[in-house]
């Protein structure tokens, strides 16, 4: 937090999002003490007190959840709860609950109600409708994608004996993750942006190519029969349009 530029410490431009591991009194209190420049959205464990508060929410208070494109999320609703379940938490904390039809194969928990899966999170953001806050919190799931990519890039285990060697290994994995995060954003388009490391390795990184020299220029020639050659060449052309910061 201390490394953030001062420009991000005004008007709550910094948002902290966590899963339910961050939904503790100590952590939420620490976030609340940071002042007006910090917003948070942290998952909460569905305690019995919260569950009882959810059961008291009238049907008219539930609004449909939304997708990033603004469309209604089928089978999901959100509402804000208050009451005694908030008494021990910092002032200004809002508690948002989502109920949703479980996905096929998902088992309901004891804390769920009426055949719907319940989840909740806390935030200090005001003047924003509950559906938008719930969407913002749900988009934190991208962190799980990064974790999965990290495992596929070598973080599944530490392969070396020496601690210092494994530290170097972790640095290499981190460099790979940075490239995997920025490359789709800058170079790829369409469905290719959602390809994960294993698919990228198969379709792009393992593509055969030759370095040739023609008219005093060095070129990289990819095999014409490779199904994803156009994805590679389009990506290289997009990267060449960016200014050279070096």
Query: What pLDDT score does 14 carry?
Result: 85
For residue 62, how many other CB atoms are within 10 A of its CB?
A: 16
**pLDDT tens-place string over residues 227-239:** 999 999 999 999 9
**pLDDT tens-place string over residues 189-235:** 999 998 999 999 999 999 989 999 888 888 888 888 899 999 999 99
More confident residue, 230 or 111: 230
Instruction: State yes or no: pLDDT of 175 exceeds 70.
Output: yes
> What sign has the CA pseudo-torsion 106, 107, 109, 113?
positive
CB-based contacts of 228, cutoff 8 Å, min separation 6: 203, 204, 207
Average pLDDT of the chain, as a whole number: 88
**Residue from 116, 16, 15 nearest 59 by CA:** 116
Cα gap 129→123, rounded to integer Å = 12
Q: How confident is the model at residue 98 (pLDDT cuts 50, 70, 90)?
A: very high
Instruction: State yes or no: pLDDT of 110 exceeds 70.
Output: no
Percent of all residues in the chain with a pLDDT value above 70, rounded to a whole number = 93
Query: What pLDDT score does 231 carry?
Result: 94
- CA 10 vs CA 6, 14, 153: distances in Å: 8, 8, 36
Q: Report the pLDDT averaged over residues 104-113.
A: 65
Query: What pLDDT score does 142 carry?
Result: 78
Instruction: State yes or no: pLDDT of 35 exceeds 80.
Output: no
Q: Report the pLDDT averaged over residues 141-149.
A: 83
94: three-class secondary structure by DSSP:
strand
């Amino acid at each position: 937090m201390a490394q953030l530029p001062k420009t991000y410490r005004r008007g709550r431009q910094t948002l902290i999002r966590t899963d339910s591991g961050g939904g503790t009194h100590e952590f939420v209190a620490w976030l609340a003490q940071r002042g007006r420049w910090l917003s948070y959205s942290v998952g909460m464990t569905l305690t019995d007190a919260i569950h009882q508060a959810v059961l008291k929410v009238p049907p008219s208070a539930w609004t449909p959840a939304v997708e990033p494109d603004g469309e209604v999320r089928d089978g999901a609703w959100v509402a804000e709860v208050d009451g005694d379940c908030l008494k021990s938490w910092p002032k200004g904390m809002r508690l948002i609950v989502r109920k949703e039809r479980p996905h096929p194969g998902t088992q309901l928990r004891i804390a769920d109600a009426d055949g719907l899966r319940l989840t909740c999170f806390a935030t200090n953001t005001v003047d924003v409708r509950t559906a938008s806050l719930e969407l913002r919190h749900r988009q934190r799931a991208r962190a799980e994608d990064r974790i999965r990519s990290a495992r596929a890039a070598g973080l599944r285990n530490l392969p070396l004996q020496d601690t210092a060697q494994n530290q170097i290994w972790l640095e290499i994995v981190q460099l790979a993750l940075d490239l995997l995060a920025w490359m789709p954003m800058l170079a790829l388009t369409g469905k290719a942006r959602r390809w994960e490391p294993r698919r990228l390795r198969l379709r792009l990184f393992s593509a055969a190519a030759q370095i040739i020299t023609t008219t005093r220029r060095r070129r990289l020639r990819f095999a014409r029969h490779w199904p994803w050659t156009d994805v590679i060449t389009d990506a290289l052309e997009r990267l060449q349009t960016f200014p050279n910061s070096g």
